[in-house]
Amino acid sequence: MHKAIIPLLYVLIFSVSNLFAGNGSKPHYNDKDINHIVSQLTLEQKARLLVGCPGSDKGVSHIVAGSAGYTFPIDSLGIPSINLADGPVGVRITPVLPNKPYTSYCTCFPSTTALAATWNKDIARLEGNAIGDEALAYGVDIVLTPGINIMRNPLCGRNFEYFSEDPYLSGIMGAAMINGIQDKGIGASLKHFIANNQQTGKLYNDARISQRAIREIYLKGFEICIKNSDPWTVMGSYNKIGGQYTQANPELLRTILRNEWNYNGLIVTDWYKKRDTADQLNGGTDLMMPGEQSQVDEIIAGVKNGRISETTLNKSVKYVLKLISKSISNKGWEYNEAPDLAANAALARRIATEGMVLLKNDRSFLPISQGAKIALFGATAYKSIAGGTGSSNVNKAHITDISTGLEKGGYTLSNRLKGLYTKFVEFQNDLLDKHPESTDWEKLSYNRTVIAEMDLSKAESIIGQEAKNSDIALIVIGRGSGEESDRRLEGDFYLTPEEKFMIENVSSQFHAAGKKVAVVMNVCGVMEMNSWKDEPDAILLAWFPGQECGDAIADVISGKANPSGKLPMTFPIDYFDIPSSRNFPMVGETKSGKNFDYTNYEEDIWVGYRYFNTANKAIVYPFGYGLSYTNFSFGKPKLERKNEKWVATIQITNTGNVSGKETVQLYISAPQTSIQKPSVELKTFGKTRELKPGESETVKLEFTDYDLASFDEANSQWLTSKGEYTLSFGASSKDFRATLPLNISKNRTWKVNNVLRPVEKINVMKFPLK
Ligand code: BGC
């Protein structure tokens, strides 16, 4: 028999015999047995432990179908297989199997960007708890989340899976989510380490970044997560850094992650690109997923020919065994009962409402009283977008469309439009459905089509009649995104001609009839808005709100929930205002060379508001911005030094007429030295609880001297220069409500290793701009 077939057969027999049966209740082994187990393992068994079960991405592990993969079990030594399932907004596993006595639908939470927009660490932890509960109920050992890569350019197709353009917001929220998952005894996977910032050419792209930008922007969020949450696993990215694949890069994995940050968990590959296995192990990766027989062979050969030392091999084997020892599979997981999907759906709805950003609300048009008759325009209103495509898909049991949510919320929709759009959506579904044969749950998830907008240019009279017969117009703009590709400018970043026509015409005809118009954006991320933001009276950015989409939007439209989301990224006037527009690939055009095989991050640390604020460049909506149905006043802040920490406090008061929450964003302005500093940088943030009108809360914000440091590339050190700093307490990165001076009396430094130099010196942006 071919030797590649043996492990597959072994796993199959193992799988079928154990499927849904659980595997007893006592732990197979514990931490203390690891050295002994290692001494018993043959070279082949060690190699197998370091490689996912060949075919595991398509198979059924002993307990779960549809996970991203699982490890190799060694029954004779009591080592179970553990499974790793995506992903960012909920557990991705197969919900329905022919002989399975129960279904395993999971909750599809709002996109990671929407979660970031809540600026609420507590709610991120609760989401982590809920994801952990579902993993625990269904037997998933590790959930492959969170992805915290930086949104350096709005066209990155995976931005919706990521938190922010800012490393502090990404790191703090990411850590909360990891803690939430791991509270439940389930492992998280911090990914993609590092610089997975474009999909075009991502498998080979060398991200050429200055050491300063790597440290301050691209590593910082990961550093915060490692220090504040200790994820069980870290996943390498596909791309290269410093000319070497991240997954085989000892400077990244060993020098920084293991030695500087003392990371003691497991390092796993990203999934679908096999590299030289000896290089990966030597570079610091421990587990190759989803696993190929050739990787096992390469490890065996590598140890025999001396490319892989016994020490390296055994170290990685121990990391794998340690991870397995903590897993629920090792503890004898058995199916007990379904998770509380109703409670998790309620949480998903709450997070969605809290993450929505009210961008515009002229003369307090929103909220709209229940009972109003709404002319609901936009195909996405009738087939709404719960989440992005790719590994972040969640196989959910339902999605509440926006139209349904509004009706449930007590609004009357124009029948005529509803009829028109329902037919249009059906027609488009049939036309665009690439998988007509798929099952109902697949159609809800992997194979859900995003409907292109209807052309209303021949229907001006319908719009006119609607303006007469309805109380208001609500227009929904939809924009999907996925792992498979970066976004395009035409028809994606910019409105399509159909959307443009719809916004212009509906706005002008409703306004002519003395009626108001709101736009709801059911979109992945940043779009051009400058050309159309003046037309509607209100704009609500709802992102991908998850499975409770329609209900959550109705909650905010009706005022049942007061939006408190704040932008986790900048909305520029135009794409070409963004510094990285000069070095970001264009889908369909960039197929090799610059921006494909390599990308020079010439904008350096000047990502997002760090650039726009410092350059004083006009934008549409700033980082950190978001309106509320109420107003808040910021009191006089105080600052104290307590146990090596700075503790700032500020009282926030709800001065308006309805309850609401406010986020306080703490930015610092550092003294200018030879290292150019952004005019402001976010260092931490805090959010109030729901404050009733007139109620106050004192928000506490902590940071350290180290948080104030910039990276001094010439001396490979973090440096907090002495001098006068300003702390600004903002309602956004452009709206500072209070400031405090902070004097640092002497320089402080933290030495690090001189590593991850780009293969070529990057011609980085400097101020003043030329
Ligand atoms: C993605 C990861 C994901 C993995 C497993 C990869 O292609 O980049 O984010 O966790 O697949 O599905």
27 pLDDT higher than 90: no
- Cα of 12 vs centre of ligand 1, distance in Å, is 23
Which residue, by CA, sits nearest to atom 8 of ligand 1?
A: 270
The whole-angstrom separation of Cα 41 and Cα 29 is 14
Q: Which residues constitute the domain of residue 747?
A: 632-751
Residues 6+ apart with CB under 8 A from 622: 567, 570, 571, 609, 612, 613, 732, 733, 734, 735
195 alpha carbon – ligand 1 mean position (Å): 15
Token output for 268:
């796993």
- Give me ligand 1 centre to Cα 271, in Å: 6
Q: What is the 3-state secondary structure (H, E, C) of 454-505?
A: CCCCCCHHHHHHHHHHCCEEEEEEEECCECCCCCCHHHHHCCCHHHHHHHHH
Q: Which of 57, 287, 391, 392 to mutate to test the pocket of ligand 1 (most atoms within 8 A of CB)?
A: 391
Ligand 1 centroid to 260 CA: how many Å? 26
Task: Give the count of domains, the chain.
Answer: 3
Residue 327 lies in a domain: yes
Instruction: State pLDDT tens for residues 29-46.
Output: 998 999 999 999 999 999
In this structure, the answer to whether residues 546 and 645 fall within a common structural domain is: no
Q: For ligand 1, is residue 178 a contact (CB within 6 Å)?
A: no
pLDDT at 342 over 70: yes
Q: Is residue 461 part of a domain?
A: yes
Does residue 339 form part of some domain?
no
Helix (H, G, I), strand (E, B) or coil at 700: strand
> Does the residue 437 lie in any domain?
yes
Give the model confidence (pLDDT) of 175-230 as tens digits: 999 999 999 999 999 999 999 999 999 999 999 999 999 999 999 999 999 999 99
Of 279, 314, 331, the residue at which a domain comes to its end is 331
Residues with a known catalytic role: 270
Q: Which atom of ligand 1 is nearest to the CA of 145?
A: 10
362 and 322 in a common domain: no
Residues 102-142 pLDDT 10s: 999 999 999 999 999 999 999 999 999 999 999 999 999 99
502 close to 378: Cβ distance less than 8 angstroms: yes
Atom of ligand 1 nearest to the CA of 196: 8
Task: Write down the pLDDT at residue 770.
Answer: 65
Share of the chain above pLDDT 70, in %: 96
Question: What is the pLDDT averaged over residues 315-324?
Answer: 98
Considering only CA atoms, which of 450, 387, 453, 433 is closest in space to residue 158? 387
Residues 211, 134 share a domain? yes
Nearest CA-CA partner of 652 in 721, 581, 701? 701
This prediction has a pTM of 0.96
Closest C-alpha among 746, 616, 603 to residue 679: 616
| Cα–Cα distance measured from residue 567 to residue 624, given in angstroms and rounded to the nearest whole number | 5
Residue 309 C-alpha to ligand 1 middle, in angstroms?
A: 29
Give the pLDDT confidence of 548-604 residue by residue, as tens digits: 999 999 999 999 999 999 999 999 999 999 999 999 999 999 999 999 999 999 999
In this prediction, residues 87-95 reach a mean pLDDT of 96
Place of tokens 């905010």: 556
Whether residues 389 and 306 share a domain: the answer is no
Q: Is the CB of 233 under 6 A from ligand 1?
A: no
348 inside domain: no
Both structure tokens of 651: 């009282």
Ligand 1 binding pocket includes 378 (Cβ within 6 Å): no
| Same domain assignment for residues 314 and 377 | no
291 domain-assigned: yes
Q: Find the CATH number of the domain harbouring 390.
A: 3.40.50.1700
Whose structure tokens read 């090792």?
Answer: 330
CATH code (residue 733): 2.60.40.10
Residues 284 and 177 in one domain: yes
**What CATH number did the domain enclosing 162 receive?**
3.20.20.300
Q: What is the pLDDT of residue 12?
A: 41
Residue 202 domain-assigned (yes or no)? yes
- Tell me the average pLDDT across 47-65: 87
Residue from 271, 289, 393 whose mutation best tests the ligand 1 pocket (most atoms within 8 A of CB):
271
> Domain check: are 115 and 204 in the same one?
yes
- At 56 the pLDDT is 87
What are the tens digits of pLDDT across the range 469-485? 999 999 999 999 999 99
Position 767 scores a pLDDT of 85
CA of 708 to the centre of ligand 1 (A): 34
Instruction: Flag the least confident range among 82-91, 95-104, 613-622, 737-746.
Output: 95-104
The predicted pLDDT at position 644 comes to 92
The DSSP code sequence of 218-250 is ITHHHHHHHHHH--SEEEE-SSEETTEEGGG-H
CA distances from 296 to 4, 274, 287, 428, 764 (A): 10, 12, 11, 47, 42
**Do 293 and 429 sit in the same domain of this protein?**
no
pLDDT at 679 over 90: yes
User: Which residue stretches of 230-340 are H helix?
Assistant: 250, 277-283, 293-304, 310-326
* Residues 550 and 683 placed together within one structural domain of the fold: no
In a domain, 4, yes or no: no
Ligand 1 pocket, 68 CB below 6 A?
yes
Q: Is 688 helix (H, G, I), strand (E, B) or coil?
A: coil
Largest CA distance in the chain: 82
Task: Decide: 222 and 190 in contact? Cβ < 8 Å.
Answer: yes
User: By alpha-carbon position, which residue is closest to atom 7 of ligand 1?
Assistant: 271
348-358 average pLDDT score: 98
Helix ranges (DSSP H) in 140-245? 167-182, 211-213, 220-229
| 494 CA → ligand 1 middle, Å | 28
Residues 439 and 492 in one domain: yes
Is 661 a pocket residue for ligand 1 (Cβ < 6 Å)?
Answer: no
The answer to whether residues 550 and 403 touch, using CB atoms and an 8 Å cutoff, is yes
Last residue within a domain, chosen from 501, 535, 561: 561
Q: State CA 401 to chain mean position distance.
A: 22
In terms of domains, do 394 and 304 share one? no
Residue of the nearest CA to atom 4 in ligand 1? 271
Mean pLDDT for the chain overall = 95
Q: How far apart are CA 561 and CA 354, in angstroms?
A: 8
**CB of residue 144 inside a 6 A radius of ligand 1:** yes
Is the confidence at residue 5, as pLDDT, over 80?
no
Which structure tokens are listed for 745? 């009396």
Beta carbon of 86 within 6 Å of any ligand 1 atom? yes
Q: Tell whether 174 and 140 lie within a shared domain.
A: yes
Residue 270 CB–ligand 1 contact under 6 Å: yes
Contact status, residue 214 vs residue 241, Cβ threshold 8 Å: yes
